[in-house]
Chain A
Amino acid sequence: MAKRIDTSGLDVFYGDFKAVEDVSLTVEPRSVTAFIGPSGCGKSTLLRTFNRMHEVVPGGRVAGKVLLDDEDLYAEGVDPVAVRRTVGMVFQRPNPFPTMSIYDNVASGLRLNGVKGRTLLDETVEQSLRRANLWEEVKDRLNKAGSGLSGGQQQRLCIARAIAVEPQVLLMDEPCSALDPISTLAIEDLIFELKNRYTIVIVTHNMQQAARVSDRTAFFTIAGAGKPGRLIEIGDTAEMFSRPSERATEDYITGRFG
């Protein structure tokens, strides 16, 4: 069920401003790929092109191709809503729906897409919460508000909500940057388990995190303010952190830059 992502010559724009330039990379299925780089280098922007969330921002558009197992996400006639059902996303700040209970949050993706069967929903909610390592903590209070959970629990709730619709790919935009170290560890453990089922792309500012959770790492940087972000290199994480092939990567991961 996990799919691979290929981009070729991808440019990403906000109106006339080119935010990311000429990215060609491959994200392997059933693995974790980390995007690292200084702030403003376009890694989150690039991530959001993988489920066409980039277009939600007024003026957001792309040029080039993003292939999901050889299907072009930006081909004529492709429904962005259908893309987002296939490619799920977890955001920087935990964002459970405040009007909904824990159960309703996890079931929301299915319900809002028209699934009604009670047993199916029950099963999906339990399975998703188990896969998100949250079931044991919330099984007795499924009808309570999701906002009553701790930050780390809320983020796992959001992951459960994202995987309940059975996506092929899971995008994570700095999922731990608002969490404490213990919650971060719980999410990282979870990412390690989830990669058996999903293709995962994670944007992170934390290089230790990239080194811990990812199989492959892509390093992006930006030449200066107002210039577009570029992919410098992508490779096996172990390789990248021990023997980066580019000087810029080495400077960044050793803390001499950025």
Chain B
Amino acid sequence: MATATSTTLAPISDSRKLRNHVATFAMYACFVIAMIPLVWIIWTLVAKGAGLLGDPHWWTNSQRGITSRIQGGGAYHAIIGTLLMALVTALIAVPLGVGTAIYLVEYGRGRIARAVSFMVDVLTGVPSIVAALFIYALWIGTFGLHRVGFAVSLALVLLMIPVIVRSTEEMLRLVPRDLREAAFALGVPRWKTIMSIVLPTAFSGIVTGIMLGLARVMGETAPLLILGPYAKAINTNLFSGNMAALPTMINQDRVEALKPAVDRVWSAALTLILLVMVLSLLGRLVSRLGSVKTSR
């Protein structure tokens, strides 16, 4: 005989319904609030910056001979500079970062491993300007060299390594121990197990981590300001001369109040975001090619 006071099959109580509604509303509200700045930024960038991007000159020319009174010009010099510095940074930081992560996950035991892990944590907290000044002291102070693109890359390496170590570490730890043991049980040495079983299994996650690191590094400005003076002309030599990058191009025109310069600031910012986005998509594609087989 079920009655309204039955405790076993009672309907959902009003207070629980209310709490459910409040919690649901709060979550949606948080989501919307978090989205506001993102949408706002993208909207502003597209609205103010898309104009110049439609002009082929933007993608093929430099700012050579363009003053702040002249409309347009190109961002090619800054795009190529950003890409070159990022590429060299990745070439140095990826092997070091992935290697450190492999050491920490597969080999590291005891005090040394704890020390390495602690150092990576410290490196994570190093502000970009400190990394830049460290390289400045080393590159210019100790070695007496000039401010060039490669020095910027070295500073960026310091910022990228901890990102790659931490993300790769996570991915390697996700590879089940069963798989390593299965390979060991076949008489496969440890290093070969890591190269042929563990790394391919974690490949897509590692690539995603590298792309995140790259995205962070491409937007860094402090190392550029300290180590990589801006140039309006195209320079593809990382070891000589001033070299443009998108953040310094933004910084260059930012100080001008004239409309043509302001337009270029927005367009360069939008270009940087697009560049990072394209690289992330490429990363997705690459990781999909070589990742875990799921087809039947």
Contacts and interface: CB of A to CB of B under 8 A. Distances in A.
Interface residues of A, number: 33
Contact of B296 (A88, A89, A145): A145
Given A99-B200, A145-B296, A112 B192 contact: yes
A247 B203 CA distance: 54
Interface centre among B183, B201, B294 (most CB of A within 10 A): B183
A56 B184 contact: yes
Interface stretch (A28-36, A77-85, A117-125): A77-85
B66 interface: no
Interface in B177-197: 178-189, 192-193, 196-197
Contact of B185 (A51, A93, A148): A51
Contacts of A89: 181, 185
Interface string B109-142: 1000000000000000000000000000000000
Contacts of A56: 180-181, 184
B41 interface: no
A218 B249 CA distance: 76
Nearest to B110: A58
Contacts, number: 91
Contact of B179 (A85, A98, A101, A144): A98
Given A144-B296, A148-B295, A95 B184 contact: no
Given A95-B182, A112-B186, A58 B109 contact: yes
Contacts of A83: 187
Contacts of B16: none
A144 B180 CA distance: 22
* Number of chain B interface residues as a range: 20 to 34
Interface centre among A97, A101, A147 (most CB of B within 10 A): A97
A109 interface: yes
Contacts of A165: 186-187
B291 interface: yes
B293 interface: yes
B27 interface: no
Contact of B295 (A88, A95, A144): A144
A148 B292 CA distance: 11
Contacts of B183: 97, 108, 112
Interface of A: 51, 53, 56, 58, 81-86, 88-89, 91, 93, 95, 97-101, 108-109, 112-113, 144-148, 158, 161-162, 165
15 contacts: A56-B181, A56-B184, A81-B187, A82-B187, A84-B184, A86-B187, A89-B181, A91-B182, A95-B181, A97-B182, A108-B196, A112-B188, A144-B293, A147-B294, A162-B186
